[in-house]
A and B are shown apart, each in its own frame.
Chain A
Amino acid sequence: MKNLKDAALIAILAVVIGFGINTVRNMASLGGLPLHTPWPDNRKKAELEFPPSYDPAADTLVGLEEAYSLFLSGSAIFIDAREQQEYDEGHIKGALNLPFELWDDYWAGVGPSLDPQKEIVVYCGGLDCELSLFAARQLKSLGYAKAYTFFGGWQKWGDAGLPTSIPENGDD
């Protein structure tokens, strides 16, 4: 019982110190956190329909069906924008790995395989991953006008049971 009381006292003391210092930081512009920032309520949403940074004027999104028909067409190149470790654990069949965060390291290997005239489908983990969106923008700025973002990504593709390369079946 005494322990519980001590724990409560420590917590209260910490909260008082925390809010006190935060108030001072707010007043002195020292990186405090204003307490009234409005956050969108995202508790119910299991997954987003659009990337949070989606810009209809700049980005082209494709859904699962469109991505799959591009896949079947055989002419589109798929780009996996996740880091290599995730790519190695499994990716859309035939996709090339171009981790957005290590663009400069990977671009030399991937760039020559791309054709500015053809469709490029960029994806990442799905759900709220936006690497695909950023990578597609980068591709567009480099002149690959048909760079599309498949926001459903690895998650949706895998859930739908579409063709993948996973190390166990080894086929790429």
Chain B
Amino acid sequence: MTRGWRVVTLGVVFIAFFTVVVLRLWYLQVSTLASALETSYLQRIRVVTIEAPRGDIYDRDGLQLMAGTRATLGLVVDRKLVTEDREGQLINNLAALLGVPPSEIRAEFDEQGLGERFRLSDDIGEATGLFVLEHTEDFPGVTIEPVPVRVYPMGEVAAHVIGYVGAPAEDDLRRPEITIRDRVGRFGIEGEYDRLLRGTPGTIYYEVNARGEVLGIIEEEPPIAGASVMTTIDIELQRFLEDSLYDGISLARQDGEDVIRAAGVVLDPRDGSVLAMASVPAYDPSLLSDGTLTQEEWAGMSEKAVLNNFAIQGLYPPASAFKAVPYTLALENEIWPEVEQEEYRHLLDPNDPSSFYADGDLEFPETPPFHDWKVHGLVNINTAFQVSADNYFWGIALKIWYDEDQNLLQDWARAFGYGTETGIDLPYELAGIVPDRDWFAYHQFNNTGLVRAEGPWSGGDLMNVAIGQGAMVATPLQVANSYAAMANGGTLWRPRVVDSVRDAENQTIFSNPPSVIRTIDISDETVRNFLSDLHGVVANEGGTAHKAFEGFGDSFERVGGKTGTAQILVAIEEDEQDIDTAWFVGVAPLDDPQYVVAIVVDQGGSGGKIAAPVARAILQYVMGEDVDRIILGEDTD
């Protein structure tokens, strides 16, 4: 074999290979060199994230805590730091410590998975925590850490404004700072201001050896607490609003109505601040935030949609409460109803162009005749508003239909904020609908089921818009905000529930000052008329809330409002039935409006009968009157 040396050379190469490998094995497994050098080469760094305490939420005075954070001691297990042979003993020790069966702890270990770091218990108490720290050898891989726990000291009060903290949803997980184990703000201020409230988690870098034992802390970045939110909520008014809404529900129930819920909002018409906002029945955010909610409880909450804030998510036909818009535009443009007046010419007031005889019904070609809820007789723009004469506002609609720009009414509605989200700093607000010819054509063409299948947009449809019925829907906040704009002389504010966000040093890091959406050009004369007619609704003999406001108190002259009774077609056991939803929008004091109250009692009956008494109580409260027990008003529109 002439090339023997070449084969031998290859053999030598392989011998070298094997030698290197065996030396490496010896170094890793046998020699103490490896353990001596492991801090430099095999050194592992274990990164542990420390949750930041979430920022607080306060009322407008900064005195009442609406949401806060309590530090509890949490027991954290890091399975990477426990060798398998010690895990059984650790589980037994933990079971004895926490007073739960070992099988439960084993189950939790299995659920979390191998090598995971997880919180076994959230609130172990100081004595137990101390015991663990004094017996670390019995609890390998266990650390005691302060755990921030979200608390809502007021229970259900302002639940919808606050929101709650829960497991992240899919879109939350798209945020880079959110992991599946985090909890994030959901709904309300917790959701809207989550980025500012959540703070920055801290990090501890532990040095860990090859066996996973902690050698020490390399670096520690403490967590930065979340910033605190100062709301515009007047907490006592908030409580009062919620109590009154519950009273309204009881009232409707006594009256035999199958009432579902009630919602309300109190705005400051001077800057759009929300002083109170409620949707009842509500929920206790702590139940959702601590994760102890049972499946049945959750199902019950879902069925009643209690998580939804109906003050901004409830869409109702504004009904007669909407008449304020055609009322304002009629006064501004001097558009007066003229239809079907030939036979009553002799009855009308020759000095008042707005004079009108309401005979109870009105016909529009190819449309079934419209029937008013009552025969009002001789009215004018002022009394028609006070007695809520549908006839009159239909007449305005038809006058617009025949003689004006046919979108005039809708343009005014949109100017006052209908059909668009108000832009309040709360999530999931709905926009509502202002139907017009284009909207109608679109839905008819696409067969969405919102409009009839046959026939074009007609004067009859516009008549329905004028009394806030038909396809027209709005949220309680939109209605309140439109009244605020009319009461303050034409400024439509963007409603807000948060004034500012402040860091731990009380420095403002985010400011949410009042902001104007638009100003609407209305004359002082119109505003004066409007405010005085609001009072007429509650004070004059024929006013729709006359009975509800009897015995209001000394400040009676300074309050007013408008009723509304929305007829909503509801399917009940295969039968379609018109169910009334009650509205009332109140303003006080009329000489210097500071409060606008909108109340909806969902399927509660007539506005004058059910919603007006609720609003009356709130107006009594804000005007400093003695609040008497709320009683049924009169069955009006």
Chains A and B come from one and the same complex: no
Write the residues of chain A forming the contact surface with B, with a CB cutoff of 8 angstroms: none
Write the residues of chain B forming the contact surface with A, with a CB cutoff of 8 angstroms: none
